[in-house]
Structure 1
């Protein structure tokens, strides 16, 4: 027979066992994420998908609640998708549909209790709810949309001391731009998990150093690639982290998918495998991309290789693993892809590959992975058979091309350039800026003709076109091949070359061709007029020579300022005195310089009818500014097809560019009309330019003087009786300085900067700039206080700034004195209790009056002059007698510790009534 004591003990054991079982069964969720997909014909109907990952030792799957962000919610039963991680984790699918009431932002969430137990970076994780919330914008203006989906499971393994990497494998069907950011794990709406810590929390020992032994260890997510990196875990256990995948369209965020994932860290006697993938690339529709992916395990364990991400169903690549196992630590996979037009998009496709090793010896001995993502951009095929046909009489050029092969393209864009430019687009879509092509126009994709009427005679026009694809995926095609058409003229400019560079005696030679005799045989006398203009006076043409004979096609223009001016010339062809045709306005080659501290970049430009960026090289010459003209040395040649009209001189060995040394440069250019009837190359020289390395040497700091306040002169102010404006007197500080007298200070000074700080400090960051000036003095006026510090710097013409000068400071000399009696009897004499003299440098006064029993009678913290009229806090006159005061006074002082003083004393209130004088 059981005794009462035995019954109670048995009940206790049963209760304890029940609680332990409940605790074990109530812990289950490891990870999860939530995505949204538009379905049906309505732009407001969406499918909500939640994937949860359950610890197989926890309770079986239960219904979970999905909230739609509208006040509505639904309890959804799970569908098991099987097990992963050697059967330790069950994948659960919760899915439902919902019609939203209107366009707008919606925060869609899932909540369930509880997480699995013993997560290290949470407190009591087994009793902590699991909550994820993804945001989604419905906006018909931006177009229909589904959120990204995350294709790689969010439960991953890591090893102590080894770099861990996870990528969610985010895929967006519309090809929108994605970005990644960390967040804190949640346990409810707007509620972070209590005492959540990131794995690299400095107060924990979870991330002591990187795999390479550097400190501190690192934990971050790459905002562009989505690679979640932990380098490297230091303590075994389970950790939960969370992040958002943000989706952007036209620069506007349109969704944020929330993932809460678990990293299981174990102490393995194992090294992770390594993936070797190709460099990021592109594939043109119609071509085949063929490459090999390699997986290598340093321990020679069995290694498996897989492709973890997908593309649209009709454009899936083929990834064939060769199967080079059993265990040898080496595997290969062959990737083959030939995408269709529907796969063209602006952003690259991200193919994430996974290598996983399998060490023999039983389940969970060691399974480490390496993830790497290969980015491949699909671009449209180039338009075919571009042709240019000239109608010389108008003139105009008609472009035609074949129907474009991709129906999802939207427009065909046309670009034009004066002269040819050879380039191989490879993975460059459209027309790169460096080619010199300029936008001309665009037509709908179903049009195959464009007419160019904005033409100048005597110019070789070259064209390229490319296709632009519809959004939201966007994307472009490779450029077409180049086609050119020359618009003939009666004659052609060939030279505007600088012979001499000088401010007064500069010289330029101008040349042009004779007209074809058959084109001017109707005229008896052929002559030319030559006009000139300058960049500083465009639009005003000056006739510099008229009626030049037909055979004379060279003119030397002299007495010019070729150092500073940019000249342009135009020739008018005349027949029997009447104008027949004018050449294109042609400029000289103008050279400029952009020096840095270690190199000098020169660039040149010219507005000429011939192609200045042809296949001919340009030549750069240099000499010291002090050397003779004959001392110019050829230092390099420039291929303008690849480098443009620019060259950077770094002073290659054995020559060294030196600071504070001036160098002369001149450039010899070669161009071509690219037609047989005009000789080539056309040689033209720039003007000379003098420049030097960017001066980085600052001047020496100046020597500063501050006129100090003479406090002995202030009592004359202090003797003035207090009035309403007596403390508003303004002060000024006078500063002056001289250049540093050190004989080694030879760097010239262009101007100065004066700085001020209300507190003493040796740090420049604590000072504000008062003024930049060329004078050697400055008056800092309208001050309520003279307290402060000053410093001045010197700067040269290049903006190099010296260190601070000596720092000069001065303090105030405060004054605040209170009387010990006043008579508030309205006789106009001493009716108010106020300082005896005008206070100096007072910010504020907190003044209190007490009676002899310590009761507060009066308080004022608004008027620095106090002006107590003898009434108490109720507005009634106080009785005559002795009272006690406390005054806390804040002064303007240089040191903050000296700003506040406390004054205590007594006050004799004499009377509140005016007595009649004795008769």
Structure 2
């Protein structure tokens, strides 16, 4: 049909509006261009509806088949309808041999028919969709008629117009040019919502035309002084149209039919960059916090917020034009939002305090609300979006507590080992201040069983050297040790704890195998400074000279995975002499490693930290990996648990047990001295080291993971021989929680102290997230909460007492699980509210 002869058909059009209070107020898009247009045979035709949405919602376009009216309020597709380009005779595109096309750009709304082949009346239809926050909130059907005529005229052409992206407050001036191949007089016009005073009351755009009487060419200037109220997420569309008229010299002007060309360009208006961000340490040293300040924001749009971002380490990112927000890859984390009128924020890391000696980078971004989401300003023009990010401010907290700089092993022994611990004086300590250091020690790289080993009194004096303590009588052969310092100061004659240092461990060296007369070493340390991006040093004891070590290699390390070295006997560091040799499987060789590191703080980066590991003696002949364990875990039978099974325990325990997979020395080494237990909270995590268990006589191989807040977790175990060679991991076992959840069907919120609140029954455990919604019997939502305990007191979300009666609820509950972001379970039911 293609629309020919369509003048006798009653066409059906519709508009759809989705009412959703959660999305705010909504205004239907306005179609600024008329739905009747002219086209010429053989020439490319373009039309744009000129849709403008005052709320800044996203618009999308799609073709549909025209409909005719069937009954009031209903329409049906017109039978035998075909697109205009498929009506015979079939034409070609303008100036080419390819078949004619008929398309609608889903983003710009440009309707292009390239090109008509036959005169007539053609009707087409398309839908303008309105989207907000990913939700379709409305549709408009545009039914239009294209009148195709024969014309000796050639259509005019507009030059390309670039899309623009500007900061609010920028004066936009864009020159636009059109030409006509026949030298006809041209009329240049522009259409957009930015010209309408009732839609954009702050400052309307203007469009002026010059040399309009110049045959064959016309120039226009689009001018718009943007402002804060123009900021929005979606760009503004500006449509430009050129129409030709017969030149005075054209023969047979009565046969002339006007033709047009249309172009649409977009203007995105983003918020200006916040200025003068600074971060200063707070006066109270115990808080370990920064006070952030910035200049009052230029665009005080109601409902806008300042988003505050922080990351560890500094960066050189500089946002260019039209790069609002912060790219995810920079590593910033949003830590807070404050109102747009605020100019400061105190960052204490949610009350946990920030680490001294660490560089923190801050940036702020202004976020703008969607139109109609601010109750007192429903007609604001703001349509979401954000500002450019502020310039970075990078700073570290002053050294208010001592910083440990060395935990170095001086002597390796099972009972007479020696470790030297060194720490800095707190920065800013006033001369004459009476203070006390209390040194605490725990066993293991991750040890937490700290006990005090020394108490050192001091009175601060200028230029006093850093403090050290030599810790003796240690088993440095089998253990690493971890230290921290509690810092006490005297105030009004009373000694009180002011702060504590970050813990730091000694360096632990281990053998992880070797082959073909080689020894493979690995080392690790749990320290607050950075040991990566440095060169570590490996030493080997000289043959025949006990206690004399020669430096044999410098190992560049980029990350903790590269804390390894394989010794094949070659001395790769010759500055102190060459001691290369051939490693014998019948001999033992002793090693130690010196790590090199530094704090990331700008104040301490010049302080290089050197720390020795214990001495490790290893043989190339004992490199067979130990046998891997077979692991089991105690399981929960949720079907046999009573409803109140988890009411009393405050913590939970997972019990592991294992055996060796084989004891055949031809396959693996059964000589095991310890087991290492690894744990991951979720199945998609790589298990991390949890504990070391000294190997007992089989079968009593077990470990109890205590103090858990839920059962959810996954484990594997490895075996370790006397040289620190670790087996392959055991099988991985996981344990999950039992999701127990029940809700009552009656409560009495009459404030008599009995059943006044609607809460879950039987003290449910392991809840991670709850979304609870209540509806009355007419399906109207009256209450909602995300409180894990629900605690509905019989009032609506607006705080009004609800009448007695039956209500329906939906609870979406996500339980703590080994699956990260597990799907929530849905519970639906009813409850009787009695008063």
Question: TM-score, structure 1 length as denominator?
Answer: 0.44
Specify the structure having the higher radius of gyration (Cα): 1
Greater RCO structure (CA 8 Å; 6+ sep):
2
Question: TM-score, structure 2 length as denominator?
Answer: 0.48
